[in-house]
Chain A
């Protein structure tokens, strides 16, 4: 068996690059990737990208051969999310490029730095409907931070330098380089070596906006901090924690913000939104000042926007100026570096802790904490069946330092609700795009960015089959990723909505003909276990974590299990439902709900 992270043939089939091979565009690009500091790229070869793969042969770069290009994009995505570095993926033209699209879109919507390299037919064939010709440059335009079509080898130094700079600067995102085959084989010996461009400087927050923010926060009697994924993107987690500790403001977090404040922190009220905690949603609905840090009023977080935080003045801090006022009017908007913003506001805001509204704030903090304790999740589910939240809570305790990559669906929300995160980079989840199939390849990327990390993939039976082929990648590189597959034999989140909002007309959600997942894993050479009784969960988790290499735990759970609490679509976050009160509230179906008139503070989406 090979060492973790190395393919079976490593050390056998690797040669020093032949000095006899003249440097062409592809060789220049490979050298540039090395000079850029890239150590790993994820990809799949094919016709139009073959010169690049030829140049890659023997290069000091680790290429991870996935089994589907979508796996490459998600793996690079997971690598980037966990490390904070730029992820790189490669595919050929046509279907190779189109298979990357979902992963590129995910990176765009969740602000993940990627450089995507696609082969293209020769420039002389472009526009002629050639074999495997596809306009990936045009196709991906709405979902990239930028893209380049390299029509001449002479353009490569500028394009590659700019691609990496753009991907990691400011609000990160994916950058695509479409690379025609003739450019790859063109002479490039005369081109200058790649020079790494630093990320753009981050602008300071304007003093006037800081004063406006301070003025609002100092007047607050019931303040709440609403933190999002922008905190970790700005490398501002420590500053955020200092700000919260100093100002003693109750805090709620978005899905992407989880971990910015440790789950056990007394001011952390949990996640807000559709599946947020009762304490978090209630606090936001009742607050008089909402301090938004690196969050963007996503509809899954706000519920019905017109009724979100109805009493609050909004202080919105964000690097991306276009987010301020996009969906909710900001009474004070602070654009620029979040670290400097938080640092500048921490002491002045803390000075008001015991000022005129000190007593009111103490009372508010106590009320928020009391509500959080009163509505804390319970892990004493009756019966013999496995209770997924209890299992996840237990696994979180057993593997507190793990990086967790999720797929999309009910299990994703259970992870968000019940895992105890203390670092946003240890929670890899397809937040804005909600792309099923993300989990396994993202976990592979996370493991490869740090071979010593403990990486756990939590998936569902629907999501898992969307990229199940990447079990071969897991085996090939002997990556010790541990997979927890929560199998309810249904598309659970769709089933839950059909139960609640479509009068139990279950349409195409039945997966009771699922394959034998344990047998599948073993067929790929991966150790697999099965558990179906609550009493056996602890032993199964211990065995899973003790496995030396990759391993899968197949968990049979109740098809009817739902995610609670739930804010119904087109409802205020004040209208959270639990299992017990579903029948008591008339629910509008998503199709029949009539949008209410918007209130002035809610901007049209």
Chain B
């Protein structure tokens, strides 16, 4: 299954690595990554497409626990 992850992150050191690392460790393979820092510099908006066999709710729950993750939505695509 393919999923799209829409994320809002703190623009903090390590935030991107944390999200990508957690996604891969939880069994999802990133296929595309698109994002940019907001003009005020304190947020990242990130869109990641992944594929994996596990349920999207499990991934969403794990990403939501990250301190740098302010919002996450995972939806099939």
Contacts and interface: CB of A to CB of B under 8 A. Distances in A.
A196 interface: no
A604 B53 CA distance: 8
A146 interface: yes
Contact of A326 (B21, B22, B58): B58
Interface bracket on A: 10 to 19
Contact of B64 (A142, A162, A322, A603): A322
A502 interface: no
Contact of B58 (A138, A145, A322): A322
Given A325-B57, A325-B58, A604-B54, A145 B67 contact: yes
Interface string B32-74: 0000000000000000000001110110011011111000000
Given A141-B21, A322-B61, A147 B14 contact: yes
A142 B64 CA distance: 15
Given A149-B14, A166-B67, A322-B64, A142 B21 contact: yes
A170 to B, nearest CB: 9
Contacts of A145: 67
A501 interface: no
A497 interface: no
A604 B52 CA distance: 11
A326 B58 CA distance: 6
B61 A141 contact: no
A171 to B, nearest CB: 8
Nearest to A175: B67
A141 B53 contact: no
Nearest to A151: B13
Interface in A318-341: 320-322, 325-326
Q: How large is the interface on B (under 10, 10 to 19, 20 to 34, 35 or more residues)?
A: 10 to 19
A312 B13 CA distance: 45
Nearest to B60: A322
Contacts of A604: 53-54
Contacts of B22: 142
Interface string A280-323: 00000000000000000000000000000000000000001110
A322 B65 contact: yes
A139 B39 CA distance: 30
Contact of A137 (B14, B57, B66): B14
A141 B18 CA distance: 7
A571 B67 CA distance: 38
A270 to B, nearest CB: 30
A142 B14 contact: no
Nearest to B61: A322
A321 B61 contact: yes
Interface string B11-37: 001100110011001000000000000
Nearest to A322: B61
A142 B14 CA distance: 11
Q: 9 closest pairs, A vs B, by CB?
A: A322-B61, A146-B67, A149-B13, A322-B62, A326-B58, A321-B61, A604-B54, A141-B18, A141-B21
5 contacts: A141-B14, A141-B21, A145-B67, A149-B14, A326-B61
Given A322-B65, A325-B58, 11 more contacts: A138-B14, A141-B14, A141-B21, A142-B21, A145-B67, A146-B68, A162-B67, A603-B54, A603-B55, A603-B58, A604-B53
